[in-house]
Structure 1
Amino acid sequence: MSNLKLTSPSLGPIHDELHLRRRKKFAKWMLESTNGGPSVALFHSGKEKIRNGDNYYPFRSSSDFFYLTGFPEPDAWLLITCNEKENFSDTIFCLPKDPLQELWNGFRVGPNNAAKKFFFRKSYSIDMLGKELEKKLVSSKNLFFPFSESHEIDTVVKTIIKKIKNQSRGKKIPPERFIDVAQAIANLRLVKDNKEIDTMKKAAQISSLGHIRAMKFCKPGITEYQIEAELLHEFGKSGAQSVAYPSIVASGPNSCILHHKAGKRILQESEIILIDAGCEIEGYASDITRSFPVSGYFSSPQRQIYEIVLAAQKAAIQATKPGADFSDPHSAAVKILSQGMMDIGLIKNNSLDEIIDKELYKQFYMHRTGHWLGMDVHDVGDYSKPLQPGMILTIEPGCYVRPSTDVDKSFWNIGIRIEDDALVTDSGCALLTRKVPVEISEIESLINQ
């Protein structure tokens, strides 16, 4: 059977005016940044990518495109125009209806239905893109698009601009300014609206179910990839369209590899297992990490490191509140981690201030305490902005002890990370993923049910 595609449930269209409001908000920024000059913005959903031979990866729209449109199909284009009179227009270009292709590869919305179903002013087949874009560009002073992000956009822009320049004797003039949209869209995406928050709560709930299932399933003698299979089963059964990122299932020494992928390694009774996994639903990610003993009971060295990391996470959670710098939770976590490393002898002969100032803790904790979360698992957004309600970030301190001559052997190959998704609220933050236990007594109780 030829031309097979690895399909997954498509992102469902949202049948309201949410995305239209986002497009209008973006158009307002276009006008403000150009003093009302006539402007055009261009976005592309992306193309399907070949996995091998004639098999394709499941398609996922560009996050910026989907944020503005809710349109789930490949090779679709969004054109937004506005001018000094604040006239706003949006046009979608999409694949035409094709009964044979739809028989093989699934339903297409088609240009006749796209405008009404997704609240666009106009809709055309993609074969009209060049003609319509040229028409808009010759009457615009500014062209907005994501720079160096899409080969397809770069090619289309270059082709149309060259064509217009070749017609300069006919008084056709291309736009005077090219403006990158990346930061503007990132600023819009950084603070989530109620719909986004509800969707991310749902993703967090499904991911939590997956982690609980994995914890209950875990036992000596099984493999990392069997644990991953339990996660994937729960994600799919509960309605997730995909994983948000490749799942990390890391046992024993692998728990000290930050992005270890699940492999054939067999879990041993005396080890820690670290699971970092989350699902994606309706284009939005979740991101959870839990670390726990394969045996079901923490050994003394495992307990000591785990309690330090948990205390660091609690300190970071307290620091996550409106008005705080993004780095404040990290600073709070580093202080607790550094003190803990000193207390149990991981770092010797240095004061707390020296450990922090010289970054000696980085032998055991080498990453940041969090990142923005949204449509991308490492979401877009300005990290210099103070925290404000509606922002969602991860809180994920860790401690990873690799074999070393200056470290007690009882701590070797213990990697602990605890990660939750935090919604900044008016008074602090709310954890979306705390249904998965973090307290030692609760973890041991769950595993040994």
Structure 2
Amino acid sequence: MFSEHRQRLVRQLPAGAAALLSANDIMPTNADGTMPYYPNVNVYYLTGLPEEDAMLALFPGHPDPALREILFIKRVDQLFVKWLGRRADKNTASEISGIRTVFYTDEYWAVMKRVLPLCSTIYLHTNEHARSENETQTREDRLLLACKQLYPLHRYERLYPILARQRNAKTPDEIALLRKACEITEKGFRRVLQTIRPGQTGMQVAAEMIHEYMQHNATWAYEPIVAFGADACILHLRANESVGKDGELVLIDAAARHQYYNADLTRSFPLNGRFTPRQRAYYNAVLRVHKQVAQSVKAGILIKDLWKISNNLLLEELVGLGLCTTADISKHGAQHYLNKHCYHNVSHFLGLDLHDTGYHDEPMPAGAVITNEPGIYNEEECIGVRIENDLLVTENGYEDLMKTIPKEAEEIEDLMNR
């Protein structure tokens, strides 16, 4: 899989070009603590190595075939192993990645003296994601500065657009990993339907799902969101010590990560196992939008067009729920009521990143995976409903990767009351 990803990338590089990619930094917390390391997913996508210090150099036009693909790994000694464990050695790294030439990262610039003087263009990656708000200098930033200091007269180009579009169209192997993440996510959700009850905290609910994910050698794709009652109107409320009460709806946005590929699931349902008539009205309104949006999904559509379709459908449902009238919408504008009750887009790309790479104003390719997650929120009624599944975009439509996860109100009630 990783060799195929590299081959796809180098075919897009012009003659005389090299591409350089770097691992992420290990970020500090306080005192001598560090955050759990999370790899640069582009390095993982191209090599299969999630380890700190991994770097990759690709120069398909190098006269020496051994220097057309170069992997760099961390050099570790026995003291490091005793404290932090083993890392891939050169042979293992070569087997995983399919790259024959492997050096240690502390040899990087010495090796680059044999590579970069022979290329005319250097492609470097920086985070250009539309929602990125990072204010910290990254290892990618430092690599860019170092290259320009050492090789100021080379031409520099952006690697992000190439990899973003390539990663947007998933390969069959990637789709299989995403399917597995969705299957594990389903197991966690079904477990919660059997164990959840009034009086539990959000942390206790989240623990059930995380337990199930880890039973299948997966982890959570993001910190689980478990919100009761009016708190369900807060989009990214992390599971906490708040207690769910009898009669409330709970909104759970939680999913598994399998081999760095992420699922993304949301369900809203009554803690006591029975929807009230008003809760059911909200739920079925969102479910209708969820189903109708899916019918518009196919290769070639723009994801931002799905946002528009969803917004129009949601406005109709707001009128049906009595939250506004058509006259209100004419007077105050549609955006006023969307901002009040439907304040997020219906879809984002999904993959190695939870909000994966891809462009909102370009036609979606077959093989893209997106979320379908309309929501209606009304803090005054203590109701927040979001229903989210993951869809594989195909040439003529879509495949719902979560089609077996319960979403009909009656099915959820039945499972909770067995």
Do structure 1's residue 203 and structure 2's residue 181 form an aligned pair? yes
Deviations 1:147-178 (A, max 9, x none): 368632333443354345xxxxxxxxx54211
Structure 1 counterpart SS, 2:13: helix
Distance 1:148 1:383, change over 3 A: closer
Deviations 1:184-231 (A, max 9, x none): 100110000000000000000111111111122111111111101111
CA-CA distance at 1:322 after TM superposition: 2.5
Distance 1:368 1:163, change over 3 A: closer
- Give, in whole Å, the separation in 2 of the partners of 1:372 and 1:286: 11
Structure 1 counterpart SS, 2:110: helix
- Give, in whole Å, the separation in 2 of the partners of 1:393 and 1:145: 27
Query: Which of 202, 217, 230 is residue 253 of structure 1 equivalent to?
Result: 230
Do structure 1's residue 288 and structure 2's residue 251 form an aligned pair? no
Contact 2:178 2:261 in 1 (8 A): yes
Contact 1:61 1:74 in 2 (8 A): yes
Distance 1:290 1:98, change over 3 A: same
Deviations 1:103-137 (A, max 9, x none): 22121112354334421131111111011123322
Contact 1:355 1:361 in 2 (8 A): no
Counterpart in the other structure of 1:381: 358
- Give, in whole Å, the separation in 1 of the partners of 2:147 and 2:235: 45
My pick for the range that moved more, 55-64 or 386-395, is 55-64
Counterpart in the other structure of 1:74: 52
- Give, in whole Å, the separation in 2 of the partners of 1:156 and 1:341: 50
CA-CA distance at 1:357 after TM superposition: 4.7
Counterpart in the other structure of 1:155: 142
Structure 1 residue runs without a partner (length 5+) = 1-17, 165-173, 404-411
Distance 1:101 1:311, change over 3 A: same
- Give, in whole Å, the separation in 1 of the partners of 2:315 and 2:64: 55
Structure 2 residue runs without a partner (length 5+) = 129-136
CA-CA distance at 1:440 after TM superposition: 0.9
Distance 1:279 1:51, change over 3 A: farther
Query: Which of 6, 14, 36 is residue 58 of structure 1 equivalent to?
Result: 36
- After TM superposition, list the pairs within 5 Å mapping 1:90-105 onto structure 2: 90-105=69-84
Contact 1:274 1:292 in 2 (8 A): yes
Counterpart in the other structure of 2:311: 334
Query: Which of 152, 162, 170 is residue 184 of structure 1 equivalent to?
Result: 162
TM-score when normalising by structure 2: 0.92
- Give, in whole Å, the separation in 2 of the partners of 1:266 and 1:71: 41
Counterpart in the other structure of 1:400: 377
Contact 2:315 2:334 in 1 (8 A): no
Counterpart in the other structure of 2:107: 128
TM-score when normalising by structure 1: 0.86
CA-CA distance at 1:358 after TM superposition: 4.8
CA-CA distance at 1:84 after TM superposition: 8.8
Output the amino acid matched with 2:8.
K
Counterpart in the other structure of 1:28: 11
Counterpart in the other structure of 1:367: 344
Do structure 1's residue 193 and structure 2's residue 171 form an aligned pair? yes
CA-CA distance at 1:26 after TM superposition: 1.2
Structure 2 counterpart SS, 1:135: coil
Deviations 1:321-357 (A, max 9, x none): 2232223433332233211211221003527777875
Distance 1:344 1:155, change over 3 A: closer
Structure 2 counterpart SS, 1:56: coil
- After TM superposition, list the pairs within 5 Å mapping 1:6-21 onto structure 2: 18-21=1-4
My pick for the range that moved more, 40-49 or 105-114, is 105-114
Kindly tell me the number of residue pairs found equivalent between the two proteins: 409
Contact 1:274 1:290 in 2 (8 A): yes
Counterpart in the other structure of 1:313: 290
Query: Which of 388, 391, 401 is residue 419 of structure 1 equivalent to?
Result: 388
Structure 1 counterpart SS, 2:115: helix
